[in-house]
Amino acid sequence: MTPSPITSTGPSTGTTTPSIHSDKGGNEKQIEAVTERAVLPEQLGSELSRQVRHKYASSYRKIFAAIFTVNCAVFVALMVKSNGNPNSRDVGSAASANLMGSILFRQEEFVNLWYEIFTCVPHSWPLYIRKRLAKVFHYGGCHSGAGTAAVVWYLLYTVLATKEWIEEPLTDVLVNMITSWVLVSMFLIILTSAHPNLRRRFHDYFEAFHRFAGWTALSTFWVHNIFSARVTARQLDMSLGAVLVSSPNFWFICVSTSCTIASWSRLRHRTVYPEKLSNHATRLHFKYRGMAPFYGLKISDKPLTEWHAFATIPDTDPESGKIVGFSVVVSNAGDWTKEQIAKSHERKLWVRGAPLHGLLYTSKLFRRIVVVATGSGIGPCLSLLFAGITPRRVFWSTREPLGTYGPQVVAEVKRADPNAVIWNTHERGYPDIVREVYQLVHESNAEAVFIISNPKVTEKVVYGMTTRGVPAYGAIFDS
């Protein structure tokens, strides 16, 4: 079958073809690409070792386990220190510290800071260090690990608070116990709804539970903290203010509350200018601010019930070339996206929080990469392609790329990689994607692979590359 005019396939002649890419300063670099067909190597290790190392022992789970191990060590230390009868204030402080840590890893500026720290190393550092630093996007393990630990600590605190009320049934102690049980109930609702299986199956309900139970817990936390301080003030014969300012709980909850306020205080109703690409996709343009590459934003038309995260693409002025706005590509993947595609008129949508770095920002750590996208996954990749920082090859598999996403999107891909492989699945069927991606790695001598796709294809490519010794990174769906 003759390939379409926009489809590029790797030649098998054994010759070399120079590929031109621009660096961050706009200077062109020529990279000699080896073009003979590569033989896909055998996977490393046994089936069991591959499953354990590359599937079950993910960085996300390692981080989760590390946080839980630290908390277990602290629990043992408290038990030893108190001869098996831990102080409720110490337990409460441990719970509050974990809760603060969990919320911090959902605060945009804090997360961006971690990205900046992990990606600031030079390319002269060994690859085995850089490929591990690139896994900073697994920070969700910190959020869930600290959150789960907070629930366990608070359950223990509530048991101790109930014991104190039984021993001393005063009003302040009673309120302290009741608010503790309310907090534990809210935390258990959040924890249960966040289980990956339930989250995927009932995502809209998960968002509602997570948000409203979280707000209820935060409000109750303040009431609980004040009454708990009153109990302590009476026991130690101190003023309420002195107890509060000397309590770690008070400062932990101040930080947690500030993080929540910081995000929601930036809730804005912004005008959006749609550019309908096809019946399957649309591009939403925002003009209220410029947006540098490698950022994402949350968008909604129902801010209290659901939010949708999209990677932003800088929009430039055709004459000056300056960034004057940004856009997001939306494809048909559910009721909300279908509704946005159907609306072709100018309107307003809600945006919240600060722009957030994502997976593709870590591509800066590598000298050369291969970018893989399927379908609308090309949307987030356009920001990376626009940045032009890292030399890259592109593999994009989709149905009717020109008809679905329009000539401008295709042109942006070809501009970033003149030899991009744009695989039209309508003409050629589905590719052997692991083999095709490895071919591009072989041609360009890339150090890493980045993929934006659905969970099934992402896992297939990441597993197929990492088990052959090629660092590969794809979005995780349980963070």
The confidence score (pLDDT) of residue 66 equals 95
Q: Is the CB of residue 310 less than 8 Å from the CB of residue 328? A: yes
Asked if 139 and 235 sit in the same domain, the reply is yes
The answer as to whether 387 is a domain residue is yes
The answer as to whether 80 is a domain residue is yes
* Boundary of a domain, candidates 264, 290, 323: 264
Largest CA distance in the chain: 87
Asked if 89 and 195 sit in the same domain, the reply is yes
Asked if 126 and 234 sit in the same domain, the reply is yes
pLDDT at 36 over 90: no
Asked if 282 and 260 sit in the same domain, the reply is no
Asked if 259 and 406 sit in the same domain, the reply is no
In this predicted model, what pLDDT tens digit does every residue of 48-98 receive, in sequence order? 998 888 888 889 999 999 999 999 999 999 999 888 888 888 888 899 999
Asked if 320 and 382 sit in the same domain, the reply is no
Rounded percentage of the chain residues whose pLDDT exceeds 70: 92
The answer as to whether 169 is a domain residue is yes
* Boundary of a domain, candidates 314, 334, 357: 357
> Which residue range forms the structural domain that includes residue 197?
58-264
Asked if 68 and 213 sit in the same domain, the reply is yes
In this predicted model, what pLDDT tens digit does every residue of 38-49 receive, in sequence order? 889 899 989 899
Asked if 373 and 390 sit in the same domain, the reply is yes
The answer as to whether 221 is a domain residue is yes
Q: Which domain CATH number covers 305?
A: 2.40.30
Q: Which domain CATH number covers 470?
A: 3.40.50.80
* Boundary of a domain, candidates 264, 294, 327: 264
Q: Is the CB of residue 295 less than 8 Å from the CB of residue 356? A: yes
The answer as to whether 171 is a domain residue is yes
Asked if 145 and 178 sit in the same domain, the reply is yes
pLDDT at 449 over 90: yes
The confidence score (pLDDT) of residue 478 equals 53
Q: Domain tally for the chain?
A: 3
User: For residues 31 and 261, what is the distance between their CA atoms, to the nearest angstrom?
Assistant: 48
Which of helix, strand or coil describes residue 421?
strand
**CA distances to 95, 427, 458 from 253, in Å:** 11, 57, 38
Asked if 253 and 312 sit in the same domain, the reply is no
The answer as to whether 391 is a domain residue is yes
Asked if 257 and 291 sit in the same domain, the reply is no
Spell out the residues 6+ positions from residue 434 whose beta carbon is closer than 8 angstroms to its own: 40, 460, 461, 464, 465
The answer as to whether 44 is a domain residue is no
Spell out the residues 6+ positions from residue 413 whose beta carbon is closer than 8 angstroms to its own: 378, 382, 385, 394, 396, 420, 422
The confidence score (pLDDT) of residue 29 equals 46
pTM of the model: 0.86
In this predicted model, what pLDDT tens digit does every residue of 140-183 receive, in sequence order? 999 999 999 999 999 998 888 888 788 877 777 788 788 888 88
Asked if 204 and 231 sit in the same domain, the reply is yes
